[in-house]
Chain A
Amino acid sequence: MKFSFSGEQEEFRSNLRRLLADVSPPKEVRRLMETDAGWERDGWRKLNETLGLTALRIPEAYGGHGFGFGELGIVLEEMGRALLCAPYFATAVLATGAIINAGTEAQKQALLPDIALGETIATLACAEDDGLWEAAATTLMATPSGSGYRLDGHKSFVLDGHTADTIVVLARAPGSSGETGLSFFTVRGDASRLERRLLKTMDPTRKLARLAFSGVEAALLGEEGAAAAPFGRTIIEAAVCLANEMVGGAERLREDALAYAKMRMQFGRQIASFQSMKHTAADMLLDVELAKSAAYYAAAALDDGDADVAATASLAKACASDTYMQTAIHAIQIHGGIGFTWDNDTHLWFKRAKSSEVLFGDASYHREQMMRHWAA
């Protein structure tokens, strides 16, 4: 297992950080989060082309660069830090993951090159109104129809579901239950009889949609009835990627709060000189560094094909969930009254911390998952 980034990786990170600071300052985050789409195609296409971001982990055979989760983790950490408003997680982690994990050779050839180029925005629709990211909870029904399938039911909490060009949908065969009878399907975003509604999200930087399917035409992705395993794998990858995104945001909050404490004067001295502030700041550093170690380790475990990766992924997600939220709470406290205002930027990351805490399962859920995988 590697415990450090290479020189090339560090250089990639610092270039990316510089660029994202430029294209995604808080002012731009605020502008985009007020839009319904939550991102803009021209801006995103340009950024993606410059750095080849959606191509990063797609194998070279499908028009990608063939990098691993170590590099993907770096990208997500920096995007989390900059609070970039873009359909990256949905496209490059969720949809790409589902296609790589489940798709046939021909389907990968057909779907991945356009994602790598940044032409196709894609997402994965799995959870439903009960908000569970577990295969067995699926109720959306897929009925054979002609040469294809028709989907009936609903999906919710779909990342960028209202703007995606292609939607990978997890659905089940009539009469099936549990983890059997599940298949992936692809659906066009503009398909008829698909109703997409933007949900009002507490975190405006992460757009979610509810999708209602009433006989929507769909194409099978991968093997029929065998989606449970590739879905499980995709969610493990998503948990690891999100953990990496989260530690980037947590570190940004920590740094901003520290900078504020050094600048803010009360009682004739910098508030950073009070031990109560210092002890909080030291604990924030400890929390964030531990969560970073777990997130990096989990990404390396994915790349290494580690047998314990499910437990490690849950460990990293649980650790990041608690840490990001706790860091956000401390950051607002350190800012005092100004930290509770709309004009101060802290709440943007606070809300991202909250949405990340819950997405794909909160800390308690992942602690239980970890115990099941690890200590059973």
Chain B
Amino acid sequence: MSEVNEATVRAEVRAWLEANWDPELGLIEWRNRLAESGWGAPHWPSAWHGRDLPAGLVPVVEEEFKRIGAVGVAKAGIRVLAAATILTHGTDMQKEKFLRRSLTGEDTWCQLFSEPGSGSDVAGAVTRADLRGNHWVINGQKVWTTSAHKADWGLLLARTDWDKPKHAGLSYFILDMKQPGVTVHPLKQMNGHASFNQVFITDAVVPPEMLVGEVGQGWAVTTTTLMHERRGADGLRTWAQASDRPGRCYEEERAEIKTTMEPYKWYPQRAGRVDLIVQRAKQTGRFEDPVVRQEIAKVLIMSKAAEWTARRARAAQEQGRPQGPEGSLGKLASSYIARAAARVHTQVTGANALLTGEDSPMGGVIAEILVSVPATSIAGGTDEIQHNIIAERVLSMPKEPSVDTGKPFRDVPRNTVR
């Protein structure tokens, strides 16, 4: 076999794209070609739509896609987490059924982990899965479920054994969302949007082959999903950008992105819109105020330093070197930056920060920043949990003594729902 390096990979993917890319193909048809060739997910195993390419060479492939303008595989939404989890823990049947369709974007996924009684403490889930006859029967309530109303499948964490300690009694399932026992209600947030849902599950059914991993190993599988979720939240997540070029494939991708990104349309505001600060301060005249300038500078410094830290982490990864501590810090940094940015936007805006909607600056964007930023330090793991993770995993500090992990879960004090 010839050596795989940047030059050979670039030549190979370029030749393949030149021979195959056609903007007039249907989106699904094109992505099926990507899945067959392995160029859609080149770091995946060659047995499953990939090419076993080292992670460090993936950017080369992405560059070539960009150069020719070719549409890539479906990357947005929970389907990426589903695919990563199934690749690691799934059966061949599950890989066969789901992986290709995750790349083509034919299936939509949601994540059914959080519950009203277990937020930070995800392993405290009380949604139950009971084996009745040949099927698992699911009962419980999930919350903060993005896209649940559109999802075909859900990644479900449920309790299968109440006599084991909490982490050992969990199992991980793939739940068919289109069934009578699953009801989805939108959850309205403090900023007026409803990007998430509550999912009520009453006697929903899961066939035995939709168990991921073994019974009782649900926590290990969940950890895989969460790890991939955090990795995506490091501040370098590429916002799905539709191309405005003509062609059937582009048109279909534009429609897909519009639907997928709908729940996330306020996310730029959630991050604090550091990009708007200087321009806004100049508009309002506060740029000349030395006190405000100091505060602006603090946000810009933190934001730049966090960006460079993320790039250090990525550079280490691309060189195949072990990631240093810089890789675990992005989420916490984003949260501090968002909060500081909201404070500065208020300083810069003055009395107009009293207003919202069309009465307020930029047609409501500034107001939306102020009421969206509190989500950043909570969603995807609160700042408190991030601090614990950094302290325990990166700095090897000992865990707090535990009061809930040594005994049967049924004896652990917990919230009473309703």
Contact residues of A with B, CB < 8 Å?
A: 2-4, 258, 261-262, 269-270, 272-275, 277-279, 281-283, 285-286, 289-294, 296-297, 315, 318-319, 364, 367-368, 370-371, 374-375
Q: Are B392 and A278 in contact (CB under 8 A)?
A: yes
A273 touching B329 in the complex, CB below 8 Å, given contacts A279-B387, A289-B309, A375-B278: no
Q: Are B316 and A4 in contact (CB under 8 A)?
A: yes
A286 touching B329 in the complex, CB below 8 Å, given contacts A278-B388, A368-B290: yes
Min CB gap A150→B, angstroms: 40
Task: In the complex, identify which listed stretch (B85-93, B142-150, B253-261, B394-402) lies at the interface while the others stay far away.
Answer: B394-402
Choose among A3, A281, A370, A374 the residue with the greatest number of B CB atoms under 10 Å from its CB.
A3
Contact residues of B with A, CB < 8 Å?
A: 278, 287, 290, 293-294, 296-298, 300-302, 304-306, 308-309, 311-312, 314-316, 319, 321, 324-326, 329, 332-333, 336, 384, 386-388, 390-392, 394-401
Choose among A272, A278, A368 the residue with the greatest number of B CB atoms under 10 Å from its CB.
A278
Q: Are A367 and B397 in contact (CB under 8 A)?
A: no
Min CB gap A3→B, angstroms: 4
Q: Are A290 and B294 in contact (CB under 8 A)?
A: no
Q: Are A281 and B395 in contact (CB under 8 A)?
A: yes
Q: Are B394 and A318 in contact (CB under 8 A)?
A: no
Residue ID in chain A nearest B293 by CB atoms = A371
Residue ID in chain B nearest A284 by CB atoms = B395
Q: Which of A273, A290, A315 makes the CB contact (< 8 A) with B397?
A: A273
Q: Are B294 and A364 in contact (CB under 8 A)?
A: yes
The residues of A that contact B278 with a CB separation of less than 8 Å are 375
Q: Which of B297, B312, B325, B390 makes the CB contact (< 8 A) with A318?
A: B297
A371 touching B296 in the complex, CB below 8 Å, given contacts A275-B388, A279-B387: yes
Q: Are B315 and A291 in contact (CB under 8 A)?
A: no
A367 touching B298 in the complex, CB below 8 Å, given contacts A269-B401, A277-B397, A285-B394: yes
Q: Are B308 and A273 in contact (CB under 8 A)?
A: no
Q: Are A279 and B391 in contact (CB under 8 A)?
A: yes
A3 touching B312 in the complex, CB below 8 Å, given contacts A269-B401, A270-B398, A286-B332: yes
Q: Are A282 and B326 in contact (CB under 8 A)?
A: no
Once bound together, how far apart are the Cα atoms of A289 and B308, in whole Å? 10
Once bound together, how far apart are the Cα atoms of A318 and B298, in whole Å? 9
Residue ID in chain A nearest B294 by CB atoms = A367
Choose among A2, A269, A289, A375 the residue with the greatest number of B CB atoms under 10 Å from its CB.
A289
A273 touching B398 in the complex, CB below 8 Å, given contacts A285-B325, A289-B325, A290-B333: yes
Instruction: Give 18 A-B contacts (CB < 8 Å), ordered by A residue.
Output: A3-B308, A3-B311, A275-B384, A278-B387, A279-B391, A281-B391, A282-B391, A285-B390, A289-B326, A289-B329, A292-B309, A293-B309, A294-B301, A294-B304, A315-B304, A367-B298, A371-B296, A375-B296
